[in-house]
A and B are shown apart, each in its own frame.
Chain A
């Protein structure tokens, strides 16, 4: 048995050495990206927009993982120094949302082939920037040697709970809510409590197209709602879900 313990001791020492080496190299955990606090009410100038774009460029957008803002021997993708003065806004938008749309050809092949784009589509998962974030990143890129043409007024302001469902009738909405079978899964009070946290467009999408951006979809529960709702019914349900108080005299 003596040799067995010697062997296990040998293994333990070797494993300890490996763990020690592992602890000596640079330590970096991979944390989920922090959700950028994008508060459109704080954006007053183009500089504000570019500043937020810079945060997204180095954060959620993960652009700096490949692109540099000055000449670099280690950058895998083009140096973006000065590109704001060379590229149009539309071209930048197309480059980040459709990286394969405009590519150089490799003429060493016959017929010539496209160089595969290294750029991920940044408004799709896993990066998945929304439109406001995209506009701010474009502003930041334009600020690199060019003029920022994105105007702060283009940033979509979230609709508050107070404006949500303002065109519908909540009392009628309650009836439609039951008739459409929503109560089988949802409690109206719970939805009303959360309604103020989302804008109307997002809630509309959650009801009509809840699987947008989800690539694997085994059981689309909400399937077909876009065909079943009338505009009036839908607005009424929105008003009910938003917790709008019925106006005096209305039903």
Chain B
């Protein structure tokens, strides 16, 4: 009777039940140190580095490569499609170059995925056994998806030239590649999100009902969407950095032109993805709060609250870096671009002021004497900027300014020919102005209403207003410029070295951001492997302080860049295609 329902036989049932009984009797912690021959192993460790640190490094590198591998096919496909529609071969070559990077990174992603799996099985057998019991069917699906993804990628890459006359078939392969990649991402997301937001799995659900309930946990879709967008951002900025480095090493004008253009496209993709990312992040945080108030508080107000100052700093650097690259493009690539200096200085001023507010912490780091002089850790003036109402306002302003930078760059050197162009330009300008005013009014008003009103209505309204501007101004400007005359040609290959360093800075920052928020997501579970269900009883059942974590994030980022440099360097050793041929 005891083995009834155990599925895998009485021996495993005996091990499982005795482990559980011992654990419930309160000897779980001693079992760690005294693994008797009769009891199943719950944890294993590794000397010097420690099992948790080992998993941290391997998982981080795997996830960064995975983000790149899943993000790049999205915009490679878009570039290829644009090439087909416009019959501009440059886009096709660019898409192919993106895919070359993707193919090079794919094997390394799988390699680190395999190492991660061995680490999890070896170091955390109790957790892994538990997860396998719940998610086993999804493991099979995951494997099947890889079996589909890999040949599709081979066909997509190796069939590029041979399918030039069957482009639609090649595009279809690209679509398939993205579909498989998307499902690979969401299947693995279900495991990680279940650990953070597990649900009640009652017997009445039945086997498949339980699997689906575990997969479709409350934070699954917010994380899916957030990661999908973030992967595009990561892919864009990494490709931009790659182009920047190749630009610096270019020997010919053609190469410089090509990599300058590639860098511009990479940066554009990164920014384009970055604009909706805060909204996806807001949705995720909202779901976390709704799932478990305690977890939300741990993230935003508990020991992780200072993490968001680091996040604010990185986002600030990212927005400044991205805008700086745009502005350098206006000045250097466009003849007479200096005429935009006034607008650039204005945007820079607004951006710096907004970032100043964005980075102001609620509680200042102060000595006891300074705190007494201030009357607490909240500065009498700056403390006003440390709350969510101010943060939400300025982040929307930052997005509006960045979008404005892009529109100026887009319109520079072009003269509209349609009769309604003037009206459209005025309309877009008025829209920007009204949106900024509305965002500020809602932000100030937010100080005087209950938090629930501010979160549910004011912050949401600010987001919707900015989204409305983005979604209206983009097609409107596109329509105006469709038949516009080019008065000043963009000159490619004339950007200074500092612009390429800006691209590298953006890529490094976005990787750091991903490592930082990965740490936040894991730490929000605190001392639980599975929040509220399976407690971490290992000696690593704590989240390290931010200083230690920041040093680790820097190490992981550096390792990732070393690997990326090696892989992309090796990928470039093949027979070289003349850059001139690319632009033709």
Contact = CB atoms under 8 A, between A and B. Distances in A.
Nearest to A198: B25
Given A16-B554, A216-B198, A185 B27 contact: no
Contacts of B18: 185-186
Given A125-B532, A126-B531, A216-B200, A30 B1 contact: no
Contacts of B298: 30
B13 A185 contact: yes
A11 B25 contact: no
B56 interface: no
Contacts of A74: 362, 378
Contacts of A27: 545-548
Given A197-B25, A215-B201, A7 B504 contact: yes
In the complex, which range does the number of interface residues on chain A fall in? 35 or more
Q: Main SS of chain A's interface residues?
A: loop
A14 interface: yes
Contacts of B536: 32
Contacts of B199: 215-216
Given A29-B542, A217-B201, A223-B5, A8 B561 contact: yes
Specify the main secondary structure of chain B where it touches its partner: helix
A244 B533 CA distance: 34
Given A115-B452, A218-B201, A223 B4 contact: yes
A219 B16 contact: yes
Interface string A13-48: 011101101111111111111000000000000000
A214 interface: yes
B70 interface: no
A59 to B, nearest CB: 14
B365 A26 contact: yes
Given A7-B504, A120-B293, A185-B14, A206 B21 contact: yes
A93 B362 CA distance: 33
B535 to A, nearest CB: 8
B14 A214 contact: no
Contacts of B285: none
5 interchain residue pairs of minimum CB distance: A22-B550, A125-B532, A23-B547, A32-B527, A15-B554
B427 to A, nearest CB: 34
A184 B10 contact: yes
Contacts of A117: 293
Contacts of A156: none
Given A127-B294, A206-B21, A14 B508 contact: yes
A3 interface: yes
Contacts of B510: none
Contacts, number: 203
Q: How large is the interface on B (under 10, 10 to 19, 20 to 34, 35 or more residues)?
A: 35 or more
A228 B1 CA distance: 10
Interface of B: 1-7, 10, 13-14, 16-18, 20-21, 24-27, 38, 130, 133-134, 198-203, 210, 214, 244-245, 248-249, 290, 292-294, 297-298, 301-304, 306, 309-310, 313-314, 362, 365, 378, 451-452, 501, 504-505, 508, 512, 523, 526-528, 530-533, 536, 541-551, 553-554, 557-558, 561-562, 565
B2 A76 contact: no
A62 B38 CA distance: 38
A65 interface: yes
Contacts of B526: 30, 32, 126
A198 B25 CA distance: 7
23 contacts: A8-B562, A15-B554, A15-B558, A22-B310, A22-B547, A22-B549, A26-B306, A27-B545, A27-B547, A27-B548, A29-B543, A32-B536, A66-B297, A120-B294, A181-B2, A184-B13, A185-B13, A185-B18, A206-B24, A210-B21, A216-B533, A219-B7, A222-B17
